[in-house]
Amino acid sequence: MRRPVSLSLTLIATAVLGLSACKRVEAPAEAAAPQAPAAAAKADGAPDATANDNLNAVLWMQRAQEYRAITEQTYRAAADHLDVALKEAHWDALVPEERGNEAKGLKPAVVLDVDETVLDNSPYQARLVRDGKEYDELSWDQWVAEKKAKAIPGVVDFAKAANAKGVTLLYISNRAVHLKDATLANLREQGLPVADDSVFLGLGTVVEGCEQAGSEKNCRRRLAGQKYRVLMQFGDQLGDFVEVTANTNDGRDALLQQYHDWFGERWWMLPNPTYGGFEPAQFNNDYSQSRHRAPLPLRDDERLIFALDVPDRVQALEWVDRLGDSVAFYKIGMELLASGEYFQVLDELARRDKRVFVDLKFFDIPATAAAVIKRLAQWPVSYATIHGWHPAMMEACAAANSGDMRLLAVTVLTSMGRPDLAQMGIDREPVEVVVERALAAQAAGIDGVIASGQEAGPIRAATGAGFSIVCPGIRPGGPVGDDQKRTVGVAQAFADGADAIVVGRPIRLASDPQAAAHAIQQEIATALATR
């Protein structure tokens, strides 16, 4: 049985610094450094927790003698089998479905996956751990361009031995084809034989007459088989050897059983504890389950968000000075964007230790919206809004959000009632539409919604705990006859399940704005104490 291990803070800090000793991937020049993840509260006597659930996996790959022993013995054992594979004319490591022609008489080759099979990317994983981020294509491409990945222990000796016997090494990788030059340069620098550029078959390689599903490699293996007799395959995922048509635990178990005898002879598996196809199999490939973050950890005084609806930077910062410590969270929206000073204000708020809510209600084709979210996640933003009308766009945005930012889906604007919806062809009560869109956002992996406090209760009942509800249109003194149609008071919003409220005019138009904000803060504290 594995005993719990508590690493001292000194050891962890030293290890992480060592793991990420390579040059840090810098954010683009216009992006400020993202906020560090908020520290989770720890109860007295609770064991120390690692900063990231991938930390021990990365440490094991970089520091454990057991890891090196496994990889070295795998490649050494494979080298011992090479002569047998070469002499047996019908020996082939491609499954029959991927062998479209006779293998006998073809030139011998070995197929190797690249990442965590040939090249060690644990320094990249360490950066993600250190910075509290997840994988994204931008940081990955930057890492590959550095060409600093080291060879997996044992692979160079095996590759040179195979090459000396006239065996071609083919690199079938899910690195995209545009990363070919950097990848081949990295392989050569590490001493791996590279016959020519054609030996790299990256993601995006076109194989005529073969339909490839996602990142599966079956078509590229078939392409390799047209020219070569594949003696062995090496990888760190089941999909590196055979097409995984059902990525479930049962489906993966069936593949392992079907090809049990191939492992250790034709197929050679390397250990990879940091990522893999086994992860989505645990939640039936419903990525919305894995994408959901815990709600933003808010102090009570951060549950009041002031709508900084002003035309320029000067007025924005005047309001921040005027409100002082009565407001710790600011929403910046469309009006300020038109000034051309939007990100200067965002940066200044962050420097003053204020949380920032970017309320720009992004709505575009999925690829464009996702690209915006990916860039915005590099800024110190706590909340950002997207429209909640397009499931594919929401899914793309959720997948692109690699930082600490939480995404909120706009359901129905608080300035709209049933007649407004009817004019849009939606002849339903707002609450029905809001709850429907909240559930769609939750299914897409979005962190929460922005909705009227009138719908906070139904949303909470439908989505359960852990889904953020932020309510604008709050009127502490009751309705005032402005353009907000679906309003509630402070206490009602929190009683019904709101996590935070957005208040603008009731503070901005008050004779003493700071006193008005303090009064709302007190009402929030009372509401939280009684719910």
- Among 281, 310, 331, which residue terminates a domain? 281
Annotated binding site: 309, 331, 414, 475, 484, 504-505
Q: Is residue 42 part of a domain?
A: no
Q: Are residues 322 and 221 part of one domain?
A: no
pLDDT at 265: 96
Q: Are residues 451 and 362 part of one domain?
A: yes
Q: Is residue 237 part of a domain?
A: yes
Q: Is residue 43 part of a domain?
A: no
Q: Are residues 388 and 247 part of one domain?
A: no
Handedness of CA 51, 53, 54, 58 (dihedral sign): positive
Q: Are residues 391 and 455 part of one domain?
A: yes
Spatial separation of the C-alpha atoms in residues 238 and 272, rounded to whole Å: 11
CATH number at residue 226: 3.40.50.1000
* Residues linked to residue 362 through DSSP beta bridges, in sequence order: 386
Q: Are residues 304 and 211 part of one domain?
A: no
In the predicted model, is pLDDT for residue 22 greater than 50? no
pLDDT category, 39, cuts 50, 70, 90? very low
61-90 per-position pLDDT tens digit? 999 999 999 999 999 999 999 999 999 989
Q: Is residue 9 part of a domain?
A: no
Q: Are residues 405 and 304 part of one domain?
A: yes
Q: Is residue 10 part of a domain?
A: no
CATH number at residue 308: 3.20.20.70
Catalytic residue ranges: 359, 361, 364
179-236 per-position pLDDT tens digit? 999 999 999 999 999 999 999 999 888 888 886 666 789 999 999 999 999 999 999 9
* Class of residue 323 by CB neighbours under 10 A (exposed 0-12, middle 13-18, buried 19+): buried
- HSE, CB side, 13 Å, CA atoms: give it for residue 373: 34
Q: Are residues 318 and 221 part of one domain?
A: no
Spatial separation of the C-alpha atoms in residues 525 and 186, rounded to whole Å: 57
In the predicted model, is pLDDT for residue 487 greater than 80? no
Please tell me whether the overall predicted TM-score, pTM, comes out greater than 0.85 for this model. Answer: no
For 229, list phi and psi in degrees, rounded to 5: -90, 115
Q: Is residue 464 part of a domain?
A: yes
Please state, in angstroms and as integers, the Cα–Cα distance from residue 268 to each residue in 72, 99, 194, 300, 531, following that order: 12, 19, 20, 54, 57
Identify the DSSP state of 300. Answer: G
State mean pLDDT over 495-523: 94
- Among 281, 309, 330, which residue terminates a domain? 281
What six digits make up the tokens of 145?
Answer: 């361009």
- Among 281, 310, 330, which residue terminates a domain? 281
Q: Are residues 456 and 405 part of one domain?
A: yes
pLDDT at 382: 95
Q: Is residue 13 part of a domain?
A: no
Nearest residue to 16 (alpha-carbon basis) of 5, 4, 7, 28: 7
Annotated binding site for substrate: 309, 331, 414, 475, 484, 504-505
pLDDT category, 94, cuts 50, 70, 90? very high
Q: Are residues 276 and 299 part of one domain?
A: no
pLDDT category, 526, cuts 50, 70, 90? very high
Residue-number span of the structural domain to which 175 is assigned: 18-35+52-281
pLDDT at 11: 42
- Looking at the structure of the chain, the number of domains it has is 2
- What size, in residues, is the chain? 531
Q: Are residues 380 and 352 part of one domain?
A: yes
Q: Are residues 175 and 84 part of one domain?
A: yes
**Least confident stretch, 40-44, 250-254, 363-367, 401-405:** 40-44
At 3, which amino acid appears? R
242-275 per-position pLDDT tens digit? 998 888 888 999 999 999 999 999 999 999 999 9
pLDDT category, 295, cuts 50, 70, 90? confident
Spatial separation of the C-alpha atoms in residues 230 and 218, rounded to whole Å: 13
Q: Give the full edge-to-edge strand order of the sheet including 228-235.
A: 200-203, 168-176, 107-112, 228-235, 267-269
State mean pLDDT over 289-307: 84
Q: Is residue 491 part of a domain?
A: yes
Q: Are residues 471 and 360 part of one domain?
A: yes
Give residue for tokens 């089941």.
238
